[in-house]
Amino acid sequence: MTDDDHDHTLRAQAVAAVQRLDALGLNRGSTGNLSVRAGTAAGGGAGSFWITPTGTPPEDIAPDSFVLLDDAGTVLQGAWAPSTEWPFHRAIYRARPDLHAVVHMHSPHATALACLRRGLPPFHYMVAVAGGDSVPCTPYHLFGTDALSQAVGAAFADRNACLMANHGLVAAGATLAQAMKVAQEVEALCGIYLQTLAVGEPVLLSRQEMAAVIERFKSYGRARRAA
Ligand SMILES: [Zn+2]
């Protein structure tokens, strides 16, 4: 498979992901956005990525709608303007060479928690799906700004997801499927956390208890493949 074929497949998968988030009610209209790291010979080189165009509803998104940006934010391919939130996607790809897809949603539960300017503490073991014992909430910054990108890039130094205050959720993964899994799991956890807070303060897991979960998650995939 050539890099062009590879990138076309990636963009087709990205279209399906955008439409799935819409169908699940996790993004409405043209809110939220999604990107995948481009193949290195696709005309972009290292650091380039395909991102959803700005202001396009999910039903109108096609593989050719995606915009290819290089690491400087220059449009290399695509007829539309990129999502105005592209800078924090770049910040994640710069911070984490191991991550190849980024999903951003204004999903109801994560956004509600972000409006309280609270992240997820270790109230449930699945919080470890984001790679640590919490999901942080970055300070509020205007969308599309360098300040927001820096905050998100810093949050991703040791996590695969974060909330952005008064805004929404960002999740990333080594693959698009992984990024989608983390995004949907964190959204579900935010819903459970909000329900718990409506009754009282949850009992938090200890650092040791979460370390054991994180360790188990590391070997989980390997154990399944060996079975
Ligand atoms: Zn947004």
Digit-coded pLDDT (tens) for 40-87: 544 455 689 999 999 888 889 999 999 999 999 999 999 999 999 999
- The CATH number for 67's domain is 3.40.225.10
The alpha carbon of 43 and the centre of ligand 1 are apart by a number of angstroms equal to: 27
The alpha carbon of 164 and the centre of ligand 1 are apart by a number of angstroms equal to: 9
The alpha carbon of 144 and the centre of ligand 1 are apart by a number of angstroms equal to: 9
Domain count, the chain: 1
Percent of the chain with pLDDT over 70: 93
Q: Which two tokens stand for residue 10?
A: 């990636």
| Neighbouring residues of 27: CB distance < 8 A, sequence distance ≥ 6 | 18, 21, 58, 105, 106, 107
The alpha carbon of 156 and the centre of ligand 1 are apart by a number of angstroms equal to: 17
Q: Annotated catalytic residue: which of 59, 85, 185, 201?
A: 85
In terms of residue numbers, what domain contains 197?
Answer: 3-226
The alpha carbon of 176 and the centre of ligand 1 are apart by a number of angstroms equal to: 18
pLDDT averaged over every residue in the chain: 92
User: Among this protein's residues, is 187 annotated catalytic?
Assistant: no
Digit-coded pLDDT (tens) for 189-227: 999 999 999 999 999 999 999 999 999 998 876 655 544
Digit-coded pLDDT (tens) for 4-22: 778 889 999 999 999 999 9
The answer to whether residues 17 and 176 touch, using CB atoms and an 8 Å cutoff, is yes
Neighbouring CB atoms inside 10 A of 203's CB total 7
